[in-house]
């Protein structure tokens, strides 16, 4: 596995950081899902599943409370 694929995306905190945090979490989720699709080592898969669950929790926790989503 290429070492560059193991890097986590992180973002500095600044005004408007919640939006950026959600974007970073979504990117990480997509990245971990792609890695899971190719990974065959069970220990590594378990690690990726844990990281994926953590990012999904971050995304869920970062959603604004009390605001309804706009229909698309």
What is the pLDDT confidence band of residue 21, given thresholds at 50, 70 and 90? confident
Residue 7 inside a domain? The answer is no
Residue 48 has pLDDT above 50, yes or no: yes
Spatial distance between the Cα atoms of 72 and 67, rounded to a whole number of angstroms? 15
Give the domain extent around 37: 17-60
Residue 67 inside a domain? The answer is no
Residue 22 inside a domain? The answer is yes
Residue 41 inside a domain? The answer is yes
Instruction: Please name which of 11, 31, 14, 33 lies closest in space to residue 22, comparing C-alpha atoms.
Output: 11
What is the pLDDT confidence band of residue 61, given thresholds at 50, 70 and 90? confident
Residue 21 inside a domain? The answer is yes
Helix axes 17-38, 42-61, angle to 10 degrees: 160
Number of domains making up the chain:
1
Residue 14 has pLDDT above 50, yes or no: no
Residue 33 inside a domain? The answer is yes
Q: Is 58 exposed, middle or buried (0-12, 13-18, 19+ CB in 10 A)?
A: middle
**32 three-class SS:** helix
Residue 32 inside a domain? The answer is yes
């Amino acid at each position: 596995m290429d070492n560059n694929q193991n890097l986590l995306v992180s973002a500095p905190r600044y005004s408007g950081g919640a939006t950026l945090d959600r974007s970073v979490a979504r990117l990480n989720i997509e990245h971990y899902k792609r890695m899971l699709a190719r990974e065959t080592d069970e220990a590594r898969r378990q690690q990726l599943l844990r990281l994926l669950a953590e990012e999904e929790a971050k995304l869920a926790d970062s959603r604004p409370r009390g605001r309804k989503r706009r229909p698309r």
